[in-house]
C-alpha cells in the first residue's frame, strides 16, 4: 500500500530520472516532511501487525461458532459411557453408530424428513412467488392507500407470531363461513400452505420488503420497453422482471427454506400429530424418555443423555447445512446484492 | 385483477394513471386477502381476547367481556410473568447494543481483503441458519423440560471452566466468588452475542460494500488513518443500517427459543387460558414497540442519509 500510493502521488516528478525503484523510493522519502513520514511509518506498522490480530480474533470467534458443531459430531459417534469418562474430551474412545441409529428411530427421522421437506419446499416456493408479486406491486405502482398498506407490511415484520397465534388457531379450528359451514384445518398442511400462498407465511413481511427494494432497484426502462411493445403489466412481470430477478428469488427462497426448517413455534401451534424435524427435536426429550430411558434394565444419567440430544441436533441440521455449503454464495452475497441494502 | 382486465376488454377509456393504479391493486390483491384473514383479523381478535374470558364452544370461540381483569391478573397475580418480563427486557436492553457493536466490528473485518475470507464469512453466517431453531436451545444447554444438571454442565464446560482453568494456569487463584461469576457471565455472553449476530453482520457487510470507492480514495489521498476512516466514512455510510439492525435484533429476540416470556405465553395457551395469554403477549409487545419507537425517533436524528 505504501508503495502504490506514494508512486501515484510523486511519480510524475520522477519520470526520466532513470532510478531503480528502491532509489526512487528513498528519494521520495527524503522529500517528505516528518509528518508524512510518520504517517507512512504508522501505516506500515499497522499493516504488519493487524493481520495477526485479525487472525486471532477471527480464529477465536470462529471457534465459538464451530465448537458446538464439532461437539455434536464428536458426541454422535461415541458410546454413552464416554460422556462420563473424564479423559474423553473431543475424540471418542469407543466409536459407534448405535446412538445415531437410535436417534433416527426415536425421531422417526425419514418420515419426519419427508413431511418437513414437503412442507418446507412447497411453502417456501409459493410464498416466494406471492411475496414477489406483492413486492412488485408495492415497488412499481402508485395507488391510493399504498402508504397505509405498506405500513401493514412493516407491522407484519414487527408483530411477533406469538401475538396472533391464538386467534389464528381458532380461525383454523373453525375454518369456513360463520353459520354456514366450518371445517377443522388443525393438523393439516393447509394451516401452513394457506398463509404461504397469500403471502402471509413465516417472515413474509420481511420477504415482501426485500422484493420491493429489489424491484425498485431495477431500471425502469426495462418495463417501459415492454409496455411500448404492447405487453401488459402482468406479462411484463412474468416475461421481463422474473427472468431478471433470478438471484433474488433464489436468495429469498433459501432463507425461506431455512426459516421454515427452523420454525417450531408455528408448527407446534397448528400441528398435533404431523411432525416436522424442528418440532421433533423440540420434543426429543419426551420421545427419548418413552423409548429409551424408561427401560428398567438400563440406567442412563442425564449427562449421558446428551449423546442422543446432540445426535438429534446433528441429524436436524445436516440437510440445511448441506444446502448452505453448496449454495453458500447465495446466502452470504445474495441479501447484500438483492434488495434489503436499500432500507 | 379481474376487474381491471374486464374493463380493458369492454374498451372503457380509463386514464393511464388510474389503470396503472388498478394493476397495482391487482398485484397486491392476493396478499391483501391473506393479510385480512391471517394477520389483521387475528391481530384485532387477539387484542379483543385480552379483554375477555375466552373458552372454546361448539363451532366458535366464546368470549365474555371482563375489561382489564386479565391485565390485572397478569401483572399482579401471575407468579412468573413480571419476573420473566423484567429479565427479558433487561437482557434485550444491554444485549442489543453489544450485538450491534460486535456485528459492525466483525463486518468491517470481513470486508477487508485477506486469505480465507470466504471461509471466515461462511463460518460467521452459520448462526443465521442454525440459531433460529430448537437446535440453538440444545446447543445453549437449556433443556427446558428436564432442566438436568448434565446440560448445564455441558453448556458451561467450555466457557466457564476453561476460563477458570486459564486463570489457574496463569497463577491466579482464589478469586472472589463475585469476580468468577462475572467472568463466567461474560464468557457465556460472548457465546450468546456471537450467535445472535449472523444476520446483522450480513446487513452491515452489504452496507460496507456499498460505500463508494471514491469516498475511500478521497480519504486515502487526505491521509486518513484507519481509525479516522472508520469514524468519518464507515460509520456515516452504515448508519441507516444501525437502525435497521437495531429493529431486527429486537424483533429477533421475540422469536428466540430462549425467550422466557414467550415460553410462558405458550404454556398459558396450552392451559387454554387464551385471555391471559393474549394479555401477556400484548403487554410485552406494547413495551417493546414503544421502546423501539422511542429509540428510532432518537437515532433517526443522527443518521446520515446520502440522498437527502
What confidence tier does B158 reach under pLDDT thresholds 50, 70, 90?
very low
Instruction: Determine the average pLDDT of the residues in B48-76.
Output: 80
**Residues of B in Cβ contact (< 8 Å) with A85:** none
C-beta of residue B233 within 8 angstroms of C-beta of residue B108 = no
Cell numbers at A318, concatenated: 445436516
Question: Residue B43: which of A159, A208, A262 has the nearest Cβ?
Answer: A159
C-beta of residue A215 within 8 angstroms of C-beta of residue A245 = yes
Are A54 and B274 an interchain contact pair (Cβ–Cβ within 8 Å)? no
Question: Residue A167: which of B34, B46, B158 has the nearest Cβ?
Answer: B46
Query: A108-282 sits in which CATH class?
Result: mainly alpha
**Residues of A in Cβ contact (< 8 Å) with B207:** 341
The verdict on A218 touching B (C-beta cutoff 8 Å) is no
Question: Residue A328: which of B38, B122, B262 has the nearest Cβ?
Answer: B122
pLDDT at A332 over 80: no
Please write the tens of the pLDDT for every residue from B244-264.
888 888 888 877 767 888 888
Alpha-carbon Rg of chain B, whole angstroms?
26
- Which residue from B268, B229, B138 is spatially nearest to A288, judged by alpha carbons? B138
| End-to-end alpha carbon distance in chain B | 36
B118: helix, strand or coil: helix
- Which residue from A39, A135, A69, A131 is spatially nearest to B158, judged by alpha carbons? A69
Give the span between the Cα atoms of B279 and B69, in whole angstroms.
Answer: 10
The alpha carbon of residue B98 is apart from the nearest alpha carbon of chain A, in Å, by 15
Nearest CA in chain A to B191: A64
What confidence tier does B157 reach under pLDDT thresholds 50, 70, 90?
very low
What confidence tier does A1 reach under pLDDT thresholds 50, 70, 90?
very low
Q: Which of A117-131, A292-306, B127-141 has the lowest mean pLDDT?
A: A292-306
Nearest CA in chain B to A308: B138
What confidence tier does B44 reach under pLDDT thresholds 50, 70, 90?
very high
Give the mean pLDDT of chain A.
80
Q: Phi first, then psi: give them for residue B31, nearest 5 degrees.
A: -65, -40
pLDDT at B298 over 70: yes
Chain centroid, CA A315 distance in Å: 18
**Exposure letters B27-50 (e unless 16+ CB within 10 A, then b):** bbbbbbebbebbbbebbebbbbbb
The verdict on A235 touching B (C-beta cutoff 8 Å) is no
Amino acid B33: pLDDT: 92
Are B194 and A61 an interchain contact pair (Cβ–Cβ within 8 Å)? yes
H or E element that contains A181: strand A181-183
Are A234 and B21 an interchain contact pair (Cβ–Cβ within 8 Å)? no
Are A163 and B285 an interchain contact pair (Cβ–Cβ within 8 Å)? yes
Model ipTM value: 0.76
Give the span between the Cα atoms of A336 and A339, in whole angstroms.
Answer: 7
Task: Determine how β-strand B52-56 pairs with β-strand A181-183.
Answer: unpaired
Residue with cell 446466502: A331
The verdict on A200 touching B (C-beta cutoff 8 Å) is yes
Amino acid B35: pLDDT: 93
Domains of chain B: 2-69 (no CATH), 73-302 (1.10.3720.10)
A-B contacts (CB, under 8 Å): 272
pLDDT at A223 over 80: yes
Are B133 and A278 an interchain contact pair (Cβ–Cβ within 8 Å)? yes
Amino acid A129: pLDDT: 93
User: Which 86-145 residues of chain A touch chain B by CB within 8 A?
Assistant: 130-131, 133-134, 136-138, 140-144
pLDDT at B145 over 60: no
Contacts of A85 (CB under 8 A, 6+ apart): A93
This prediction's pTM: 0.79
Nearest CA in chain A to B262: A162
Are B251 and A208 an interchain contact pair (Cβ–Cβ within 8 Å)? no
Give the span between the Cα atoms of A217 and A210, in whole angstroms.
Answer: 11
**Residues of B in Cβ contact (< 8 Å) with A39:** 223, 225
The verdict on A328 touching B (C-beta cutoff 8 Å) is yes
Amino acid A274: pLDDT: 80
Domain boundaries, chain A: 2-62, 108-282
Interface probe, candidates A9, A68, A83, A138, chain B, greatest B C-beta count within 10 A: A68
N residues, chain A: 343
Higher pLDDT, B176 or B219: B219
Task: Determine how β-strand B61-65 pairs with β-strand B52-56.
Answer: antiparallel
Give the span between the Cα atoms of B106 and B103, in whole angstroms.
Answer: 5
Amino acid at each position: 500500500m505504501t508503495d502504490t500510493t506514494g508512486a501515484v502521488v510523486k511519480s510524475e516528478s520522477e519520470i526520466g530520472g532513470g532510478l531503480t525503484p528502491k532509489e526512487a523510493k528513498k528519494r521520495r522519502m527524503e522529500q517528505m516532511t516528518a509528518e508524512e513520514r510518520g504517517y507512512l511509518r504508522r501505516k506500515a506498522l499497522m499493516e504488519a501487525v493487524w493481520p495477526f490480530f485479525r487472525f486471532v480474533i477471527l480464529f477465536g470467534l470462529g471457534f465459538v461458532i464451530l465448537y458446538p458443531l464439532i461437539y455434536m459430531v464428536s458426541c454422535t459417534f461415541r458410546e454413552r459411557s464416554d460422556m462420563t469418562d473424564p479423559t474423553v474430551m473431543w475424540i471418542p474412545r469407543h466409536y459407534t453408530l448405535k446412538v445415531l441409529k437410535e436417534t433416527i428411530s426415536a425421531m422417526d427421522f425419514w418420515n419426519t424428513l419427508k413431511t418437513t421437506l414437503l412442507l418446507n419446499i412447497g411453502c417456501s416456493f409459493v410464498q416466494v412467488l406471492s411475496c414477489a408479486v406483492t413486492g412488485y406491486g408495492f415497488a412499481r405502482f402508485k395507488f391510493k392507500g399504498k402508504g397505509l398498506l405498506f405500513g401493514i407490511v412493516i407491522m407484519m415484520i414487527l408483530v411477533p407470531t406469538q401475538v396472533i397465534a391464538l386467534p389464528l388457531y381458532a380461525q383454523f379450528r373453525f375454518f369456513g363461513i360463520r353459520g354456514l359451514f366450518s371445517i377443522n384445518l388443525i393438523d393439516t398442511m393447509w394451516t401452513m400452505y394457506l398463509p404461504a400462498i397469500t403471502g402471509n407465511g413465516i417472515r413474509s413481511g420481511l420477504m415482501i420488503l426485500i422484493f420491493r427494494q429489489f424491484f425498485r432497484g431495477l431500471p425502469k426502462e426495462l418495463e417501459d420497453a415492454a409496455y411500448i411493445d404492447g405487453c401488459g403489466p402482468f406479462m411484463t412481470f412474468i416475461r421481463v422482471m422474473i427472468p431478471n430477478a433470478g438471484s433474488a428469488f433464489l436468495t429469498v427462497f433459501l432463507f425461506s427454506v431455512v426459516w421454515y426448517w427452523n420454525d417450531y413455534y408455528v408448527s407446534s401451534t397448528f400441528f398435533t400429530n404431523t411432525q416436522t424435524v424442528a418440532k421433533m427435536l423440540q420434543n426429543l426429550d419426551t420421545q427419548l424418555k418413552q423409548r429409551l430411558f424408561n427401560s428398567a434394565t438400563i440406567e442412563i444419567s442425564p449427562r449421558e443423555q446428551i449423546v442422543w440430544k446432540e445426535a438429534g441436533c446433528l441429524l436436524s441440521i445436516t440437510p440445511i447445512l448441506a444446502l448452505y455449503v453448496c449454495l453458500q454464495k447465495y446466502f452470504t452475497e445474495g441479501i447484500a446484492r438483492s434488495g434489503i441494502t436499500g432500507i | 385483477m379481474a376487474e381491471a382486465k374486464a374493463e380493458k376488454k369492454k374498451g372503457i377509456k380509463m386514464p393511464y394513471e388510474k389503470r396503472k393504479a388498478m394493476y397495482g391493486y391487482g398485484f397486491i390483491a392476493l396478499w391483501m386477502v391473506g393479510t385480512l384473514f391471517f394477520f389483521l383479523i387475528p391481530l384485532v381478535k387477539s387484542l379483543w381476547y385480552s379483554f375477555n374470558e375466552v373458552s372454546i364452544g361448539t363451532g366458535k370461540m366464546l368470549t365474555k367481556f371482563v375489561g382489564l381483569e386479565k391485565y390485572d391478573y397478569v401483572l399482579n397475580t401471575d407468579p412468573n410473568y413480571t419476573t420473566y418480563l423484567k429479565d427479558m427486557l433487561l437482557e434485550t436492553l444491554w444485549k442489543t447494543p453489544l450485538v450491534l457493536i460486535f456485528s459492525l466490528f466483525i463486518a468491517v473485518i470481513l470486508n477487508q481483503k485477506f486469505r480465507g475470507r470466504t471461509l471466515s464469512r461462511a463460518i460467521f453466517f452459520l448462526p443465521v441458519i442454525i440459531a433460529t431453531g430448537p437446535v440453538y436451545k440444545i446447543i445453549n444447554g437449556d433443556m427446558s423440560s428436564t432442566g438436568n444438571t448434565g446440560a448445564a454442565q455441558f453448556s458451561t464446560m467450555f466457557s466457564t471452566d476453561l476460563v477458570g482453568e486459564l486463570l489457574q494456569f496463569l497463577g491466579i487463584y482464589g478469586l472472589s466468588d463475585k469476580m468468577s461469576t462475572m467472568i463466567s457471565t461474560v464468557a457465556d455472553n460472548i457465546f450468546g452475542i456471537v450467535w445472535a449476530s449472523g444476520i446483522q453482520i450480513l446487513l452491515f457487510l452489504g452496507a460496507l460494500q456499498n460505500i463508494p470507492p471514491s469516498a475511500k480514495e478521497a480519504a486515502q489521498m487526505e491521509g486518513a488513518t484507519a481509525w479516522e476512516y472508520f469514524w468519518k466514512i464507515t460509520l456515516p455510510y452504515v448508519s441507516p443500517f444501525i437502525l435497521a439492525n437495531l429493529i431486527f435484533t429486537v424483533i429477533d429476540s421475540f422469536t428466540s427459543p430462549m425467550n422466557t416470556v414467550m415460553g410462558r405465553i405458550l404454556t398459558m395457551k396450552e392451559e387454554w387460558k387464551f385471555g391471559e395469554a393474549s394479555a401477556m403477549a400484548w403487554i410485552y409487545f406494547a413495551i417493546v414497540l414503544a421502546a423501539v419507537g422511542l429509540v428510532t425517533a432518537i437515532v433517526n436524528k443522527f443518521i446520515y442519509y446520502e440522498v437527502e
